[in-house]
Structure 1
Amino acid sequence: MSRLGSHSFVRLLKCNVRCVRICGGQRFKSNEPSEFEHPVSRTIRVLKGDVKNYFSLPEGEKTFRKQHFLSGHCDVLVIGGGIMGSSIAYWLKQRARQGLHVVVVEKDPTVIPNNVLCYTSASTVLSVGGIRQQFSVPESIQMSLFGAEFLRNVKKHLYVEGHDPPDVQFTPTGYLFLATEKGATQLEENYKLQQELGAKNELLSPTKLKEKFPWLNTEDIALGCHGLRDEGWFDPWSLLDGFKKKAINLGAEYIQGEAVGFKFKSMPDVMVEGVEPGTYEALDSLLIKTPSGDIHPIKFGLCVIAAGPQSGAVAKMARIGNGAGYLQFPLPVEPRKRYVYAFNCPNGPGLNTPLTVDPTGAYFRREGLAGSFIGGRSPDVDKEPSTENLDVDHQFFDDYIWPHIAKRVKAFEGLKVNSAWAGFYEYNTFDANGIVGLHPYYQNLYLATGFSGHGIQHGPAVGRAVMEMIIDGGFKTIDLSRLSFDRIITGNPILENNIW
């Protein structure tokens, strides 16, 4: 028996033994599956059925299952292998180990030797990698506080024997938010909430700002807020790689493929509001397209959409936004392109430079040593760039970023842009906040998406939260109930009160 077949036998046997214990030790008759039967007999019968079905499959499907799992089904299927999906897989396997078969489907087409996904076009690895507690929504603050704790102890959390521990290069230099008179009151209110929840930061007057950061022009600034602990930036690729390696080490399986559709099953006995009795259909399988172009179904017990910018498109495949009742409401997540520019300024701010956010929304931070920096800005709504590709608009820097950061830091007047890249935000068009939890129509579909640029720092907390919902039946650490899909149905957005 193959390794996978042996694993399936043991897992089924354990499950069937538990069933016998629950039934008070009674047995099934082996020739009557609907009555009591010995657990070993029942396990062998089920495996015989799997094997029979396997040998009746087309050759392409046999090859796929040989490379992956023999039975063609899993307990939890996660769509998306970025930071959200890999964190979910890690937390599930950390808790369940051998008791839960977790499969992650990732479509990034770039592969290096040994079939390792590179994620060269994934949002996670193209992000700036910032982490801050300076939000106005309590859940965001709490998730970032946990994210910082996770980063500080990442070598313990994600250590895999035989591998070097992940080095995420956490640089806790802080964030510095600047406000004009118009935004000062909001900045102060945000600060008070952050302090109440355990964040460590400080409010600084223009005079104090100038004392602490002599390079800063404060002529139009009324107030600043500086993070003193657990804010800064880290290497997104190293964190993602650490999550993925640890999840695989714990037993999660990664499959390269693109979600192209769902298969449904009729459940006439299920009653759902807004659906004609007897017509309810549940999600049964995901159809994935492999690099060879073949289409394969993966049957699942539970499914999690964590597909980043493509989550809205994946949800449409599940009829979300194209049906009756709760299905009339689409998942409001779509890709939004954001540029990051790398530039040199030898006479620029030194090592004590935090990630500084101008009142206009333009930001910059130090990148390593020797006068290197990166920066960017979200465009105005009416100037959103095309998402057809990852091309960079270099004129955007000259028109919308450089004038603001050069005004804020005089040395930046003579900066030189060396390179630039673009990545996609998983943008929630409803309120730019994450959507986490069970979908109200499908009782086996969870969502973990829409964080609109904050996903990399909230990934550790969201993965743990989804695990708690699946295994414990509800949130046990950070209550993310307000981030559920329900708020889209009721029209109650959760908006960040930013200062620009």
Structure 2
Amino acid sequence: MNITKIIRGVRVPAAGLFRNYSNDVNPLSRTVRVVTNGIAEFFGMNKTASVYPTHADIVIIGGGYIGSAVAHALKTRAGEGLSVIVLEKDLTYREVRNNISHGTLIRNCSLPENIELASYGAEFLRKARENLGEDVDVQYTPYGFLMLASERYTEKLEQTAVQQREMGLKNEILSANEIQERFPWINTSDIKLGSMCLETEGVFNSWAFLSGLIRKSQDLGAIYINAEVTGFEIEKQRDVLMEGVEPGSFERICKVLYKTPDNEEHSIKFAACILAAGNKSGEIAKLAKIGNSDGLLSLPLPIEKRGYGIYAICDEDRMTHLNTPLIMDTSGVWLRKDGLTNNLLCGHVPFTSEESKNMSEEEFLKKIIEPSVNNRFPLTIGKKLKKLTTEMQDYNTYDETGIIGPHPYHNNLYIAAGFGKYGCQHAPGIGRAITELIIDSHYTTIDLTRFSFDRIFINEPLIEFDVY
């Protein structure tokens, strides 16, 4: 059966292409449904479609920021020329909605690729209504970004600042005295320099951004299915010759297997599969024998779930009226305004050490978070840090930098995961990059070759200075 006919068979013009759908199209009614009937109802997932597609050009595993950005980019460029199906385990997006700090845009990076991805993300957000729809308001608010450095990091900070200016970013190097004059509430006694980016950096409503991506992708023809991936079907291709693979033994993934919430089992045959399942990506990769075999399949996808607390600083009125930029401290603590409220939010980048991972939440707060926050921002001394939520990142344990591109063995399995805190802001650029690889067979805008899985095989880590 022709895949176009299958897709048309489940299309509902008003609600887009979803396994389930809603007939309500009035914007006010949609808003009421969000409040009264939950997120699933908002995206039109309370009725069951009669057809599960069995074939697709592209299957995307994961419907979060990156997966939905890939769907959006593919359908924007190819239209009906490519059929796209998104498999998402939790279409209520509970975990995503808890990630309140992910609506942060930072271009103050040391890796050129991250700078370019963030710049494109900023451009995409500025044109959100054009890209996603007139009713989408991402509330993008630039604040500026201040990166602090102790004497240990001053040389690297200065080198990074020069590189950023060469790439068109507006920034300035501030001495400790200049930081103190501009932001007198920051303790600079153990600070040598700071790098201040003067435009673009800020916050946005990440949930509005994701909602817009999903709805626009549906309108363009992508199908979202509430499904948990359970495996891949692999077929022998004896005529394929690959270096390092015994002749006649090459196996190619050709189908993804999944089950629905009511435990129905289905499969989809695909030409290409995008693995964008966030912190579940490493586990799903194992289903394709990645890390469970030898040769090019010997190394696992080094992505795991890493959680960290997000806190609000209580009685913050003494600070929020100030010109508060996004701040990254030498300790790994970050601070920013909420953007939608008068709160100040703070947290700590995930630690890699086993000792910190084994700390209790209360112990981590008392030993790491509070001393660091009180040292850098003395006005917080005596103020209670209120726990808001625990956020989850797709953490790349190899070098903390994202992985994108085809797997060296499964060249029809494209990885787009491990970007951690950058995942949300980089999503538009990642979506465009994957689209280029599929349609053009190479990058045509931002060259992300260094971010490929291959760097793990040749042991060439990419370290982002912005992450202490």
TM exceeding 0.5:
yes
Q: Is the 8 A contact 2:3 2:55 kept in 1?
A: no
**1:419 pairs with 2:387:** yes
> Structure 1: how far apart are the matches of 2:350 and 2:454?
29
Structure 1 residues not aligned, in runs of 5+: 10-65, 109-116
Residue matched to 2:429: 461
Q: Is the 8 A contact 1:200 1:229 kept in 2?
A: yes
Shift of 1:400: 1.0
Residue matched to 2:168: 198
Q: Is the 8 A contact 1:123 1:425 kept in 2?
A: no
1:274 alignment partner AA: G
SS at match of 1:150: helix
Q: Which residue of 240, 245, 256 maps to 2:210?
A: 240
Shift of 1:165: 2.2
Q: If the length of structure 1 is used for normalisation, what is the TM-score? A: 0.81
> Structure 1: how far apart are the matches of 2:215 and 2:422?
23
> Structure 1: how far apart are the matches of 2:99 and 2:136?
15
Q: Deviations over 1:172-213 (max 9, x none)?
A: 101111111121111111111111111111111122212221
Shift of 1:103: 0.2
**1:120 pairs with 2:106:** no
SS at match of 2:94: coil
Q: Which residue of 362, 371, 389 maps to 2:333?
A: 362
**1:383 pairs with 2:351:** no
Q: Deviations over 1:349-377 (max 9, x none)?
A: 42510111111111111124775211111
1:466 alignment partner AA: I
1:88 alignment partner AA: V
Q: Is the 8 A contact 1:347 1:371 kept in 2?
A: no
Pick 1 or 2: higher relative contact order, CA cutoff 8 A, min separation 6.
2
1:464 alignment partner AA: R
> Structure 2: how far apart are the matches of 1:289 and 1:185?
52
Shift of 1:105: 0.4
SS at match of 1:167: coil
Q: Is the 8 A contact 1:348 1:412 kept in 2?
A: no
**1:150 pairs with 2:124:** yes
Residue matched to 1:326: 296
> Structure 1: how far apart are the matches of 2:194 and 2:346?
19
> Structure 1: how far apart are the matches of 2:2 and 2:455?
47
In the TM superposition, what are the counterparts of 1:458-497 in structure 2 within 5 Å? 458-497=426-465
Q: Is the 8 A contact 1:438 1:447 kept in 2?
A: yes
Structure 2 residues not aligned, in runs of 5+: 10-47
Residue matched to 2:37: none
> Structure 1: how far apart are the matches of 2:3 and 2:253?
29
Shift of 1:218: 1.4
Structure 2 CA distance for partners of 1:3 and 1:378, relative to 1, 3 Å = closer
> Structure 1: how far apart are the matches of 2:419 and 2:333?
19
Equivalences, count: 428
**Identity in percent:** 41
> Structure 2: how far apart are the matches of 1:475 and 1:416?
48
In the TM superposition, what are the counterparts of 1:49-68 in structure 2 within 5 Å? 67=49
In the TM superposition, what are the counterparts of 1:26-425 in structure 2 within 5 Å? 67=49, 69=51, 71-108=53-90, 117-122=91-96, 125-159=99-133, 165-344=135-314, 345-368=316-339, 371-380=342-351, 381-385=353-357, 393-425=361-393
Shift of 1:3: 12
Structure 2 CA distance for partners of 1:370 and 1:483, relative to 1, 3 Å = closer
**1:448 pairs with 2:422:** no
Shift of 1:333: 1.0
Structure 2 CA distance for partners of 1:8 and 1:369, relative to 1, 3 Å = closer
> Structure 1: how far apart are the matches of 2:387 and 2:400?
28
Q: Is the 8 A contact 2:306 2:395 kept in 1?
A: yes
2:448 alignment partner AA: L
> Structure 1: how far apart are the matches of 2:100 and 2:320?
24
Structure 2 CA distance for partners of 1:359 and 1:102, relative to 1, 3 Å = same
Q: Is the 8 A contact 1:273 1:325 kept in 2?
A: no
Q: Is the 8 A contact 1:123 1:423 kept in 2?
A: no
SS at match of 1:284: strand
Residue matched to 2:34: none
Q: Is the 8 A contact 2:203 2:339 kept in 1?
A: no
Shift of 1:274: 2.6
1:83 alignment partner AA: Y
Q: Is the 8 A contact 1:303 1:445 kept in 2?
A: yes
From the CA coordinates, give the structure whose radius of gyration is larger.
1
Shift of 1:222: 1.1
> Structure 1: how far apart are the matches of 2:77 and 2:340?
40
SS at match of 1:272: coil
Shift of 1:416: 2.6
1:294 alignment partner AA: E
Q: If the length of structure 2 is used for normalisation, what is the TM-score? A: 0.86
Q: Deviations over 1:402-453 (max 9, x none)?
A: 2222222222113233332112211111111111111111121111111132
> Structure 1: how far apart are the matches of 2:261 and 2:407?
30
Q: Is the 8 A contact 2:320 2:344 kept in 1?
A: no
Q: Is the 8 A contact 1:177 1:224 kept in 2?
A: yes
Q: Is the 8 A contact 1:337 1:384 kept in 2?
A: no
Structure 2 CA distance for partners of 1:499 and 1:119, relative to 1, 3 Å = closer
Shift of 1:343: 2.5
